[in-house]
Amino acid sequence: MKLYPLKFSPVFSYRLWGGEKLKTVLNKDYSETNIGESWEISDVKDSETLVTEGYLKDKTLKNLIHDFKGDFLGNKVYNQFGEEFPLLIKFIDAKTPLSIQVHPSNEIAKERHNSFGKNEMWYVMEADKNAELIVGFDEEFDKDAYDSLVADGSILEKMHHEKVAEGDTFYIPTGRVHAIGAGVLLAELQQTSDITYRIFDYNRVDAKTGELRDLHNDLAKDVIDFEPQKEYKTSYKTEKNVSNKLVHSPYFTSNILFIEGSLKKDYTDLDSFVIFICVDGDLKLVSNNEIYSLKKGETILLPAALNKVELISKSENSKLIEVYI
């Protein structure tokens, strides 16, 4: 049986800061309230996404890797990761701010949690007026002052706050302290990991538990990169019908495609699966003479054995994030 482009059923996650935009803007189908995250493609234990259509319906990523190996992942990716799928794709809706947090490196995550680290990237899909992201520090400060800064929340004053709009992109390497602010809807691309060290949470009580959420400052303190950066936002070109570089890291490669009319892509030399995240518009994806729809808020995975695909825009503003290893 041949492989084909694969869509997965999202896993929806309650978050005390979650809103309704995953439903109202991205047309996700759920009945719960305060859904903050839609995990689109996930191999995280107990949160695995399942194929939605075709003869592979209800298969997990683990099933697909086990059955198809390099034909699914790409031989180089399979040789590197074995039966572990390396990436996690999410949409995040922050009605109120997320906690101030940091993620550990591959080495520390492996040692402490037997997990990948969590290098990640954000692409802003929609932002309310004056919405912001909090990323890194604006000034140096004495690390010995860290505990007191966290205790009273004044660490926020040391951090870099940036007003954001649709299209803004940020790379969040491990060690960079960060938070998504209220009113931001974004796509997140990250390593397969669910390891987060929460530093400060505005002393909020979770309505579901009636309790404060745990903080992890003992773990966080020795993974933080305290060095301020001159620029945190990623700049990129907006040329149509080409792969414009977004974030290229050791952990994933991401580009943005502004599709006008039709674009044919040939991945023969790539030796990796490809994921398309539709962040705006309405497209048709043609593979082996079969047509698949791809709308804003949808994600599709192209197995490595499928080398050629045509992308046809059905709207004026079709934008895809293209992801591979």
The ranges of the chain annotated as CATH 2.60.120.10 are 8-234, 244-324
Confidence check: pLDDT of 263 > 80: yes
pTM of the entire predicted model: 0.95
Task: Tell me which of 49-53, 189-193, 216-220 is least confident.
Answer: 216-220
Residue 317 is predicted with a pLDDT of 87
Please tell us whether the domain made up of 244-324 is placed in CATH 3.40.50.10470.
Answer: no
**CATH class of the domain comprising 8-234:** mainly beta
**Local confidence band at 297 (pLDDT 50, 70, 90 cut-offs):** very high
In the predicted structure, residue 37 carries a pLDDT above the cut 80: yes
Residue 301: pLDDT over 90: yes
Q: What pLDDT, on a 0 to 100 scale, did the predictor assign at position 120? A: 96
Report the distance separating Cα 323 and Cα 325, nearest Å: 7
Q: How far is CA 260 from CA 69, 154, 179, 187, 267, in A?
A: 34, 47, 34, 22, 20
The answer to whether the beta carbons of residues 89 and 41 sit under 8 Å apart is yes
Mean per-residue pLDDT, 180-208: 94
- The pLDDT mean for the chain works out to 95
Report residue 66: phi and psi, to 5°: -60, -40
The helix (H) or strand (E) run that includes residue 285 is strand 282-287
Q: Residue 147 — pLDDT band, cuts 50, 70, 90? A: confident
Highest mean predicted confidence (pLDDT) among 146-150, 156-160, 238-242: 238-242
